[in-house]
Amino acid sequence: MSLIDTFGLRDVGPDGGIGQAEMVADRIVDFISQAERSLVLALYDIRLPDPVGSTVADAFRAAAERGVKIRLAYNDVPADPDAGNFLPAVHPPPETNPEILAKLPIETKPVSGIPDLMHHKYMVRDEAAVWTGSANWSVYSWTRQENVLAVIEQGEVAREYLENFEVLWETGKVELSGHGDPNPIRVGDATVRVWFTPGHGEALAQRISSKLGSARQRIRIASPVLTSGPILGTLAELAGINDLDIAGVVDEPQTDRVYEQWATTGSKWKIPLLTRVIETLPFNGKRSVPWGTGAVRDFMHAKVT
C-alpha cells in the first residue's frame, strides 16, 4: 500500500446489499490486525449491527488478546433538556450505545457534544498510521452515504492525531482541539498538514478559500452544506469567470435547513452568496431523506475539495 491510500464510498441504494459495508469492515480489520501496542479512536457515531459489527468487534478482541491497549472517545449528548441538549439542525444526533461498547475489551470515554460536536472520525495505530475520513462507523455511512476515507502510514502524521486524542481523553473538551501549528509534513511525494476543528476552523476556511482563489482550470467540491463565509465569498466571485471549470455537489435537504437557519439569524448576509454559488455554478443537490422524516440516513456526506 502507498503511504496515503484513499477510497470512496457511494450510495448503493436500498437493494445494494451489504458488500460495500463488508469491504470497509475488512479494511478496518486489516488496519487493527497490524496493531502491536496501541489503538486510539475518536468517533462521532458508532452503530454497527451484525454481520459487520461482529467482524469489527472480533478484531478488537483479538488485538486486546495480543496485549494492544485500546481507547475510544465518542460524542455524547446528555438526555436532560435542561442540561443544554438539543436536536441539531443539520447533524443528526449519534446513536452510539455505551452498553454495547462496555462488552468490548476497550477503555471508553464519552465526550460532551455541547456546545461543539465531537465530530472526529479517526483511528491511530501504534503512533505509526491513521485511519480517517468523512465516514462514521455505521452501516448507513458505509452503504447509503457518499464518503471519502484515507489511511496514512506516516509516524509524524499519526503523532499529530494522537496528540489531539490525548487532549480529548484528558480534558473531555472539544473546544481544545486544533490549537497547535499545522506544520507541513512530507508523506512520500506529498506534503500534508493536519488540521483539527474547532481550533483551526477559521484558519482552515481561509486556506481553502485561498486555494480556491488560486485555481486556474478546475474546481470540484463535495460537501453536505456550504456555510463558510470566506469560501462562499470566493466561490461567488469565481462564478463570474467563464474559463474556470467549477462544479460541486451538496445535500439538498440539509442545505434547505441552512437557508431556514440563516433567515432568522445574523448569518442572513450569507444567503445571496450561497444562492449565487448554487444557482450560477453547476452544483447538484442530493435529494436525501430529510433527517427526522424517516429511518434512512442517506445524506451526501463526503467532504472533499
Q: Assess whether pLDDT exceeds 50 at residue 86.
A: no
| Residue 11: inside a domain | yes
pLDDT of residue 52: 95
Name residues whose C-beta falls within 8 Å of residue 82's C-beta, 6 or more positions apart in sequence.
none
Query: What does the pLDDT average to over 203-216?
Result: 97
Per-residue CA distances from 171 to 112, 166, 168, 238 (Å): 11, 8, 5, 42
State which residues form the domain around 35.
4-192
The answer to whether residue 293 sits within a structural domain is: no
Q: What's the pLDDT band for 81 if we cut at 50, 70, 90?
A: very low
How many angstroms separate the Cα of 126 from the Cα of each of 35, 60, 102, 187, 208?
Answer: 6, 14, 23, 17, 31
Q: Which residues pair with 172 in a beta bridge?
A: none
Q: What is the CATH number of the domain that holds 21?
A: 3.30.870.10
Residue 270 and residue 126 share a domain: no
Residue 70 shares a structural domain with residue 170? yes
Say whether both 14 and 99 belong to one domain.
yes
Q: What is the pLDDT of residue 90?
A: 61
pTM for this prediction? 0.93
Instruction: Please name which of 185, 141, 114 lies closest in space to residue 48, comparing C-alpha atoms.
Output: 141
Amino acid at the residue 259: Y
For residue 296, tell me if it sits in a domain.
no
Instruction: Please write the tens of the pLDDT for every residue from 180-204.
Output: 899 999 999 999 999 999 999 999 9
**CA pair distance 115, 254, nearest whole angstrom:** 20
